[in-house]
Structure 1
C-alpha cells in the first residue's frame, strides 16, 4: 500500500469524527479531548499542552509500560524478555538448533548461543548431539523450562504482536512508518536492534 493511500485512509478516519474535537482511539487512548486542527490537548484549568509535550508523554508511557512488563517477568521467572522469546521458540519447536532459533526470532546466532547458555545453566533447556551427525547440536526444553513458561506473565511483546496483527493493513503500515520516522527524529535509526521489546543488552545474564 503506497503512502498516498495511507494518507487518504488517515483523512477518512479523521473526518469520521466530529469536526475539530475527537477521541483518538487508534492506539487505545480513551476519554481525552483533542483539538484536531492544532493537535493540542486541553488539560485542567484551560492550559494548552503543546504537541511536543504530548508526544513526550506518549513516549514516556511506552517506556514505563515496557519497564513494568520486564519487571513483572523478572519477578515471576527470573528471565529477561529475550530469554523468554528464545525459550518460547524452543518450546514451540520441541527440538531445534541455535541456527533455527536465530532464524525464527531474528537474533544473531552468537546472541542465541549466549542466551541458550544461560538457559542451560538454569536447566530450562538441554543440548544434545545425535549419533548420525555429531556436528549438529540440538536444543530441547526441559520440564523445568515448561514449568517456568507456564508461570510467565503476559508480557508487552505478546500483547503488541497479538493486537498489531488484528489491525487493518493500512493501520499497520501507518504505525510502522510513524515508528521508523520517530527513530530517525531521535537519531536512533542507525542503531542495530533485534525485534524484541527489551531495553537492555539482549544476551545479558540476568534481568536489570
Structure 2
C-alpha cells in the first residue's frame, strides 16, 4: 500500500509545476482584468458579480446571495455596505418578517451594470466563443473541478 502512495505522489509531481504555472497565469490574468474593471465605474469583479446576480433575481437575502457568489457572510457584508453607500443596491425589510432583509438592485446599479465590462477579459471571451460548444463545456467543467480540488466551493 505504501508503494502505491509513493507511486501516486510521483505521478502527481509530474504535473505539479505545469498546474501551478497554469493557475498562476489565470490568477495574473484575473488581476489585470480586475484593474481594468476598477477603472470603469470603480467596481471590483466581486462587486460586479453581486450586481449581476441581483439583476437576475427580483430580490435575495444576504445569506442566499453569499451562497450564489461563494463568499462568507462577513466578506459579503463589507461589499454590500460599499455598494449600498454608492447607491447601487438597496436593503428592504420584509413586510411579514421584520428580521429578514431583502437586497435589491437600485436603478443606479442597473445603469452601471448595463455599461459595465464583462466579468471575463475580452481576449478570453473572444477565444472562448470561438471554441466548439463541447470544448466550452469541457473547459468550464474542468475549471469548476479544479476549484473544487483546491477546496474552493
Aligned-residue offset at 1:172: 4.1
Mapping for residues 182-201 of structure 1, pairs under 5 Å:
189=150, 193=152
Q: Hey, what does 1:79 align to over in structure 2?
A: 43
Q: TM-score, normalised by structure 2?
A: 0.66
The answer as to 2:72 corresponding to 1:108 is: yes
The answer as to 2:138 corresponding to 1:171 is: yes
Aligned-residue offset at 1:179: 4.2
Change (3 A) 1:101 1:170: closer
CA contact (8 A) 2:49 2:119 kept: no
* SS in structure 2 of the partner of residue 134 of structure 1: coil
The answer as to 2:67 corresponding to 1:94 is: no
The root-mean-square deviation of aligned C-alpha atoms, in Å, is 3.6
* SS in structure 2 of the partner of residue 77 of structure 1: coil
Unaligned runs of 5+ in 1: 1-51, 184-188, 195-208
Give aligned pairs, total.
131
Unaligned runs of 5+ in 2: 1-16
Aligned-residue offset at 1:67: 2.2
CA contact (8 A) 2:89 2:104 kept: yes
The structure richer in strand per residue is 1
The structure richer in helix per residue is 2
Q: 1:124 aligns with which of 75, 83, 88?
A: 88
Q: 2:103 aligns with which of 139, 144, 152?
A: 139
Aligned-residue offset at 1:104: 1.8
